[in-house]
Amino acid sequence: MNDTFLKACRGEKTDYTPIWMMRQAGRYLPEYQKVRANFTFLELCKTPELCVEVTLQPVDILGVDAAILFSDILIPMEAMGAPLYFHEGRGPIFPEPVRTREALDRLIVPDPELHTGFVMETIRLLRKELKVPLIGFSGAPFTLATYLIEGGSSKVFWETKKMMFTQPDLFHSLMEKITACTSLYLQAQARAGAQALQIFDSWAGVLAPCDFEEFALPYVQKIISDLKATGLPIIYFANNGATLLELSVQSGADVLGLDWRIDIGDAVKVVGNRAVQGNIDPFALMLPKDKLRQRIGNLLHGARNAHGHIFNLGHGIHQFTPPDQAKIAIDAVHELSANHKYR
């Protein structure tokens, strides 16, 4: 069992810097495309044997130090009773957006084993196969709320902010219900065997710090507080969240995920006694080998004073990235971080 990733999460000394990549199971891998070709995205998400197969692919092919459950952050939202489908071009669609008290009242707080048992089954199956730690995950309440309110992806989040600013009570009620669902969902993942949990706040970065503090952070804090009893390391990733980092530390997470916009050395100074995860620009994987290795060396050096560093991309790997380039990066992280010059 390779537990380098878990050690780094806890801020313990490791022989090298562990690495995994957000969306490491995904479209850039021909092996994934082959599985995906025969199923819709939701069919794939709901079939444990297929989820196991694609979760294992990057571990076997690339040699990453952690696996992350293959699923989607919106799965528990569908389980709350919001009809969901995935449009090939436009992404996730909730055809019945939640914008009224009545729509909110129709949502349930699902039983994770009953309504999303396929996720828990995937975790149990994966634990029998894996030689690296398994990360479970969820979306953060604010991010999940944006999808329900907007009815899918959004560029500017007009409906979400309009509700926040003109109907704050309704917004907070929605956040409470999503939080209850998410907390149970992650606790169930822990019971099923997840060894770390990441909370993805993909859209937190559209909030001013004062609004993040009022409308988003308290719900992340509640979930992480509920998860303390599991003893698992918790990673909180607020995408585009450089200006939210000081507040994000107050989430109680053990590890702060960083997108590529922030210098990792600056981030380490802010997070203090927590581990960091990140943060190379995923598109920088396109750099020629020597420049890619140089950038990775700089990043490792920048994180040298971190209380634990898990190498990752600053965002999901892009579908057009050649897997060979990902492999070069992973090998470089392992090789360079084992050298005292960089850490």
| Catalytic residue list | 23, 27, 36, 72, 147
Residue 205 binding its own copies, by CB under 8 A:
yes
Alpha helices in the chain (DSSP H): 4-9, 30-36, 41-45, 48-62, 75-79, 101-106, 112-115, 117-129, 141-150, 158-166, 168-192, 209-211, 217-227, 245-249, 264-271, 289-302, 323-337
Residue 85 binding its own copies, by CB under 8 A:
no
Q: How far is the CB of 74 from its own copies (least distance, A)?
A: 18
- d(C-alpha 122, C-alpha 54), whole Å: 11
Residue in 210, 231, 273, 340 binding its own copies, rule: CB under 8 A: 210
Q: How far apart are the first and last CA of the chain?
A: 24
Q: How far is the CB of 243 from its own copies (least distance, A)?
A: 5
Closest CB to its own copies among residues 56, 206: 206
Q: Site size for its own copies, by CB under 8 A?
A: 34
- Binding flags for its own copies, 153-182, as an x/- string (CB under 8 A): ---xxx--xx--xx----------------
Looking from the CA of 10 toward its CB, the CA atoms found within 13 Å total: 12
Q: How far is the CB of 314 from its own copies (least distance, A)?
A: 8
Q: How far is the CB of 285 from its own copies (least distance, A)?
A: 9
Residue 281 binding its own copies, by CB under 8 A:
yes
Residue 43 binding its own copies, by CB under 8 A:
no
233 DSSP assignment: -
Residue 327 binding its own copies, by CB under 8 A:
no
**What single letter denotes the amino acid at residue 56?**
L
Q: How far is the CB of 114 from its own copies (least distance, A)?
A: 36
Residue 106 binding its own copies, by CB under 8 A:
no
Closest CB to its own copies among residues 176, 211: 211
Please state, in angstroms and as integers, the Cα–Cα distance from residue 2 to each residue in 6, 101, 224, 232, 326, following that order: 9, 48, 25, 16, 20
Encoded tokens for 87: 């449009």
Cis peptide leading into residue 38 (ω within 30°): no
278 in Cβ contact with 239 (< 8 Å): no
Closest CB to its own copies among residues 4, 248: 248
Closest CB to its own copies among residues 3, 214: 214
- d(C-alpha 257, C-alpha 94), whole Å: 28
Closest CB to its own copies among residues 24, 240: 240
- Binding flags for its own copies, 297-326, as an x/- string (CB under 8 A): -x---------------x---x-x------
- d(C-alpha 254, C-alpha 232), whole Å: 9
In sequence order, what DSSP letters do the residues of 37-96 get, joined into one string?
A: TTS-HHHHHT-HHHHHHHHHHHHHHH--S-EE----TTHHHHHTT---EEETTTEEE-SS
Site for its own copies in 240-269 (CB under 8 A): 240, 242-243, 260-263, 266
Residue 1 binding its own copies, by CB under 8 A:
no
Encoded tokens for 281: 């620009």
**What single letter denotes the amino acid at residue 75?**
I
Q: How far is the CB of 154 from its own copies (least distance, A)?
A: 12
Q: How far is the CB of 271 from its own copies (least distance, A)?
A: 15
Residue 97 binding its own copies, by CB under 8 A:
no
Residue in 63, 97, 209, 252 binding its own copies, rule: CB under 8 A: 209
Which spans of this chain sit near its own copies (rule: CB under 8 A)? 156-158, 161-162, 165-166, 205-211, 240, 242-243, 260-263, 266, 281, 283-284, 286-288, 291, 295, 298, 314, 318, 320
